[in-house]
A and B are shown apart, each in its own frame.
Chain A
Amino acid sequence: MFLKKSIDKLKSALDRTRKILNTDISDLFQLGRKIDENFLEELEEKLITADVGVETTLYLISSLRESYKNKEIENKEAILDFLKETLKKKLSKKENTIARASEGPTVILVAGVNGVGKTTSIAKLTYYFSQEGKKVILAASDTFRAAAIEQLEKWAQRLDVDIIKQKMGADPAAVAFDAIEAAVARKADILIVDTAGRLHTQKNLMQELGKISRVMKKKIPDAPHEVLLVLDSTTGQNAIVQAKQFDEVISLTGIFLTKLDGTAKGGVVLAIQNQLETPVKFIGLGEQYEDIEVFDGERFVDALFS
Chain B
Amino acid sequence: MFDTISDKFQDISRRIFSGGKLTEKNIEEAIREIRTALLEADVNYGVAKTFIQRVKEKALGEQLVKSVKAREQFIAIVFDELVSLMGPVDTSISFAEKRATVIMMAGLQGSGKTTTCGKMAKFLIKKGHRPLLVAADIQRPGAIEQLQILGETLGVPVFSEPNWTPPKICAKAVAEASKKNCDVVILDTAGRLHIDEGLMKELGEIKKKTKPDNIFLVTDSMTGQDAVNSAQEFHKLLGLDGVVLTKLDGDTRGGAALSIREVAGCPIKFVGMGETLDRLEEFDPQRMASRILGEGDLAGIAAIAKDLINEEEAEKIQEKMLSGQFTLNDFLDQFSMMKKMGGFSDLMGMLPKNMLPPGAQEQLQSGDAENMIKHTEAMIHSMTPQERNHPDVLDGSRRLRVAKGSGKTIQDVNQLLKQFQDMRKMMGNMGQMGGFMDKLMGGGGGLPSMAGGLPGMGGMGGMSGKMRSKRKKKPRRKK
Contacts and interface: CB of A to CB of B under 8 A. Distances in A.
B230 A232 contact: no
Given A199-B249, A237-B40, A147 B223 contact: no
Chain A interface category by residue count? 35 or more
29 contacts: A16-B195, A51-B42, A51-B224, A55-B40, A113-B250, A115-B109, A116-B110, A117-B109, A145-B146, A146-B146, A150-B142, A151-B140, A152-B142, A154-B142, A199-B250, A200-B250, A200-B251, A207-B367, A232-B110, A232-B220, A235-B220, A235-B222, A238-B222, A259-B109, A262-B108, A262-B226, A263-B230, A264-B229, A265-B226
- What DSSP secondary structure best describes chain B's contact surface? loop
Given A49-B45, A117-B110, A237 B229 contact: no
A147 to B, nearest CB: 4
B141 interface: yes
B146 A236 contact: no
Contacts of A49: 45, 225
Contacts of A204: 367, 370
Given A232-B110, A262-B108, A263-B195, A147 B149 contact: yes
B160 to A, nearest CB: 12
B246 to A, nearest CB: 8
Given A115-B109, A203-B367, A237-B40, A148 B226 contact: no
A76 B328 CA distance: 74
Interface string B126-156: 0000000000000111111110111001000
Interface of A: 16, 45, 48-51, 53-55, 113-117, 119, 145-148, 150-152, 154-155, 168, 199-201, 203-204, 207, 232, 234-239, 241, 259, 261-265, 267-268, 287
B255 interface: yes
A203 B230 contact: no
A155 to B, nearest CB: 6
Contact of B253 (A119, A147, A238, A265): A238
B247 A263 contact: no
Interface string B300-324: 0000000000000000000000000
B225 A236 contact: yes
Contacts of B194: 263
Contacts of A50: 225
Contacts of A146: 145-146, 149-150, 153
A149 to B, nearest CB: 8
B73 interface: no
Contacts of B365: 201, 203
A196 B36 CA distance: 33
A199 B247 contact: yes
Interface string B95-127: 000000000000011111000000000000000
Given A237-B253, A259-B110, A263-B230, 6 more contacts: A115-B220, A207-B367, A239-B222, A259-B193, A263-B193, A263-B229
A235 B45 contact: no
B135 to A, nearest CB: 11
Nearest to B253: A238
Given A49-B45, A117-B109, A238-B42, A203 B366 contact: yes
Kindly list the 6 A-B residue pairs having the minimum CB-CB distance in the complex, ordered from nearest: A236-B224, A151-B142, A115-B110, A236-B42, A147-B145, A154-B141
B367 A115 contact: no
Contacts, number: 143
Contact of A236 (B112, B150, B255): B255
A263 B251 contact: no
A64 to B, nearest CB: 18
A114 B247 contact: yes
A231 B146 CA distance: 22
A225 to B, nearest CB: 27
A265 B150 CA distance: 32
B210 interface: no
A152 B367 CA distance: 30
Interface in B240-276: 247, 249-253, 255, 275
A292 B109 CA distance: 17
A237 B42 contact: yes
A205 B418 CA distance: 32
B39 interface: yes
Contacts of A237: 40-42, 224, 253
A155 B222 CA distance: 27
B175 to A, nearest CB: 26
Given A45-B45, A147-B142, A234 B250 contact: no
Contacts of B143: 147, 151
B5 to A, nearest CB: 11
Nearest to A207: B367
A234 B108 contact: yes
Given A114-B112, A147-B143, A238-B252, A51 B225 contact: yes
A155 B255 CA distance: 35
Nearest to B149: A146
Nearest to B151: A146
A84 to B, nearest CB: 21
Contacts of A147: 142-146, 148-149
Contacts of B39: 48, 54
Contacts of A264: 225-226, 229
Contacts of B41: 236-237
A54 B36 contact: yes
A233 B112 CA distance: 16
A155 B142 CA distance: 10
A38 B412 CA distance: 63
Contacts of A119: 141-142
A236 B39 CA distance: 10
B226 A234 contact: yes
